[in-house]
A and B are shown apart, each in its own frame.
Chain A
Amino acid sequence: MALNSYRTGPDEKGHFGNYGGRYVSETLMPLVMQVEQEFKAAMQDEKFLAELDELNRQYIGRPSPLYYAERLTEHLGGAKIYFKREELNHTGAHKINHAIGQVLLAKRMGKTRVIAETGAGQHGVATATVAARFGLKCTVFMGEVDIERQKPNVFRMKLLGAEVKPVTSGSATLKDAMNDALRDWVTNVHDTFYIIGTVAGPHPYPMMVRDFQSIIGRETKEQILAQEGRLPDSLVACIGGGSNALGLFHDFLDDPDVQMFAVEASGHGVDTDKNAASIAGGKPGVLHGNRTYLLQTEDGQIEEAHSISAGLDYPGIGPEHVWLHEAGRVNYVSATDDEAMEAFQLCCRTEGIIPALESSHGLAHIIRTAGDLPKDHICVLNLSGRGDKDIFTVAKELGQEI
């Protein structure tokens, strides 16, 4: 179906076609509606936008460079590859973009405490960072299993003054951390703002996180026009919940000649029970406040996701992505753990950049396809995070002790 615009969603109740919405308990309903009102007002408020802009430049270090990956391009022998260097942001990933926006909103709403869920710890670190910057109390929910896997980030959060609460409910991973964050929020509605870490959750979160992240695409457009004098032919980003992908894509959705590829984590393979590819292996359902594609059993029970990258290890995906998938505007593909590991190492050696395992999934798609593309094909990868946090996982995978 061809639409006049892919950028008009969501509707006023937060639906992207059949997806999205507000599936939360009644206690939270008035609160999420208030968040929506405040967000809309803030985005019309010159003072709010000026403060956001100032923080983006001086605190996060924006704009992030659009970098021509020359040696990788030569190595692959086809398309011209650019990296949007979100890994150079303060805290080392794109997560800070929406964390800073949401903390400003929390402050505007007079909230004194923020909470967040985290898997790999990147969103938790970003939230702890902005909470410290604005003097707000911060509690981060993290699955017991992930706390063990991501010790450096746990310590980072603590250094930043956050309380890290181990989650033991359910399967003790990211989805359960989100459940516990919702439980905390419903109990502390009066003083607490929930900083959600991706383009999912009840409306307005998918829209709000997208709007704070879409600075990635706006900058990219300006930079590629300056550097190449034209729009790119393709955009590539990894996708778990989908915040970095939508951040890059959103500004280009109505440019019909720009192809887009979102790369899901297929773990051991989409045909195995160890993957995190909600588009490839999931079906529609309702979880964490929105209707979207979910990895689930016949009986509607949510399945655990698996990916080598903890940041993609989630059994759902943002609702706008499902809509873009069904509309055929964005291509959803996948990469396995092994492909991501190869991409990770190639990036280290050809570009001198240690990429996050998450971003390595996007790169894996480029490695698979770039060689067959003409040399004048311009491809932009969202290098969404740096891989310092992943060195322990990678070492283990390579059978090396550090």
Chain B
Amino acid sequence: MSRLTPCLAALRAENHAAFVTFVTAGDPNHETSFEILMGLPGAGADIIELGMPFTDPSADGPAIDKAAQRAIKAGANMKKTLSMVTAFRAAGHETPIVLMGYFNPIYAYGIEKFCTDAATAGVDGLIVVDLPPEEDAELLEPANANNIDIVRLATPTSDDARLPAIVNGASGFVYYVAVAGVTGGKSASADDIGEAVNRIRKYTDLPVAVGFGIRTAEQAGAIAKHADAAVVGSAIVSLIENGIDADGTPKGDLVENVLNFTQTLANGVRSGR
């Protein structure tokens, strides 16, 4: 079993929702990105999604697209992403890490080798946005064999006919994409989200995390009332974009700004219920 299930169960026992943060590995460069990663647990992140940079992130909006391009330009690759996780674990952090991204970099790395190396590094789960249940068998088996959860996505367009197929084989949690759109776009109403989360719960006992369109502590708190976890990505990543010079050099207060904002969001989630 990965760290995800005990982490989410412990929070549930305390009647708390989990706060999930997303940052892209290697953005704006390897060192700064690692510094941010190391600071996230202290800034209230219960679970960390770490983006695997890809040139063509077609399900992401401008903020996360640019983050990926920055990271790749600064030399990010899969080995470095995994090495970041290894170093994070070596420092004693037990916060669950979910790698999020697209299938091609995993496929190019070699699926079996990727699962083994990711498990060794200390990765707990995978979200591969362009790998729907119909296509993910070749990743699901080696991932699970290495105690890595495959987190599946449910969306506003996932009807009752599809939901059973989505949750069947999923583990860790189910990620509800709150709006039909890309990351960093519109926000859904808390009522709609509550309804959707309840619909998903009819089909699974897995915790349900909600993401897309959550930008403020208030929004995160409202989500925490309905869901087992609230995910914030683009809003955090945008701070990185604003925290670098025109030539890509991080300004002195970048890490501090990112972690302060993360703490504010974490407080929002905590005060949600």
Which residues of chain A have a CB within 8 Å of any CB of chain B?
Answer: 13, 21-31, 169-171, 175-176, 178-179, 182-183, 186-187, 189-190, 284-289, 294, 296-302
Q: Are A300 and B104 in contact (CB under 8 A)?
A: yes
B55 at the interface (CB under 8 A from A): yes
B104 touches which of A30, A169, A175, A302 (Cβ 8 Å): A302
Q: How far is the CA of A300 from the CA of B69 in the complex (A)?
A: 14
- Which of A27, A286, A296 touches B156 (beta carbons < 8 Å)? A27
Whether a CB of chain A sits under 8 angstroms from the CB of B267 is: no
User: How many angstroms from the CA of A154 to the CA of B12 in the assembled complex?
Assistant: 55
Known contacts being A30-B162, A176-B56, is A299 close to B77, with CB within 8 Å?
A: yes
Check A13–B57 contact: CB distance below 8 A. Answer: no
**Which residue of the partner chain, among A170, A284, A286, contacts B65 with CB atoms under 8 Å?**
A170
B58 to A299, Cβ gap below 8 A? no
Closest CB in chain B relative to A168 CB, distance in Å = 9
Nearest-Cβ distance from residue B65 to partner chain A, whole angstroms: 5
Residue B135 lies at the interface, judged by CB distance under 8 Å to chain A: yes
Return chain B residues, CB-CB under 8 Å to A178.
Answer: 58
Within the complex, the shortest CB–CB distance from A397 to chain B, in Å, comes to 29
Residues of B within 8 A of A190 (CB): 180
Q: Are B104 and A296 in contact (CB under 8 A)?
A: yes
- Complex contacts, A289 vs chain B, CB 8 Å: 130
8 Å CB interface, B52-91 against A: 53-62, 65-66, 69, 72, 77-78
Measured CB to CB, the closest approach of chain A to B52, in angstroms, equals: 9
Inter-chain contacts of A182 with B (CB < 8 A): 58-59
**Chain B, residue nearest A294 (CB):** B104
Tell me which residues from 129 to 170 in chain B have a Cβ below 8 Å from any Cβ of chain A: 129-132, 134-135, 152-159, 162, 166
Tell me if A26 and B154 are in contact (CB < 8 A): yes
Determine if B77 and A23 form an interchain contact, defined as CB atoms under 8 angstroms apart: no
Q: Which of B53, B134, B153 contacts A25 (CB 8 A)?
A: B153
Q: Which 4 residue pairs spanning A and B have beta carbons closest together?
A: A300-B108, A300-B105, A187-B181, A179-B58
**A24 to B162, Cβ gap below 8 A?**
no
Which partner residue on chain B sits nearest A304 by CB separation?
B55
Answer yes or no: B107 CB below 8 A from chain A CBs. Answer: yes
When the two chains form their complex, are residues B104 and A26 in contact, meaning their CB atoms are under 8 A apart?
A: no
Could you tell me if A30 and B106 are in contact, using CB atoms closer than 8 angstroms? Answer: no
CA distance A22 to B105 in the complex (A): 17
Whether B104 lies near A24 (C-beta < 8 A) is no
| Chain A positions within 8 Å of B66 at CB level | 169
A257 and B61 CA atoms in complex are apart in Å by 50
Please give, as numbers and ranges, the residues of chain B lying within 8 Å of A189 by CB-CB distance.
Answer: 157, 180
Q: Closest residue to A181 on the B side, CB-wise?
A: B58
**Inter-chain contact A285/B56, CB cutoff 8 Å:** no
Shortest Cβ gap from B204 to chain A (Å): 15
CB distance from A106 to the nearest CB of B (A): 18
Give the residues in chain B near A187, CB-CB below 8 Å: 180-182, 185
Docked-complex contact A300 and B153, CB < 8 angstroms: no
CB distance A26 to B57 under 8 Å? no
Is B203 engaged at the interface, CB distance under 8 Å to the other chain? no
Point out the residues of chain B lying under 8 angstroms from A284, CB to CB. 107
Contact check: which of A22, A30, A169 meets B62 at CB < 8 Å?
A169
Give the residues in chain A near B62, CB-CB below 8 Å: 169
Known: A26-B154, A26-B158, A27-B155. A183 touches B132 (CB 8 A): no
Docked CA distance A182–B65 (Å): 13
Q: Nearest residue in A to B158 (C-beta to C-beta)?
A: A26
Which chain B residue shows the least CB distance to A284? B107
**Contact (Cβ within 8 A) B131 A23:** yes
Contact assessment for A300 and B78 in the assembled complex, using a CB-CB cutoff below 8 Å = yes
Check A285 against B55 for contact (C-beta < 8 Å): no
Q: Does B103 contact A (CB under 8 A)?
A: yes
- By a CB distance below 8 angstroms, the chain B residues around A176 are 56
A21 to B104, CA, bound (A): 14
Residue of B nearest to A183 (CB): B182
Residues of chain B contacted by A26 (CB below 8 angstroms) = 129, 132, 152-155, 157-158, 166, 177
- Known A296-B104, A299-B78, A300-B78; contact A13-B58, beta-carbon cutoff 8 A: no
Please, what's the 1-or-0 string for B90-130, where 1 marks a CB less than 8 Å from any CB in chain A? 00000000000011111111000000000000000000011
Nearest CB in chain B: distance from A354 CB, A: 34
Asked if residues B130 and A29 are in contact (CB atoms below 8 Å), the reply is no
Residues of A within 8 A of B182 (CB): 183, 186-187
Instruction: Check if A170 sits within 8 Å of B162, measured CB to CB.
Output: no
B56 near A179 (CB under 8 angstroms)? yes
Which of B53, B69, B177 is close to A27, meaning CB atoms less than 8 Å apart? Answer: B177
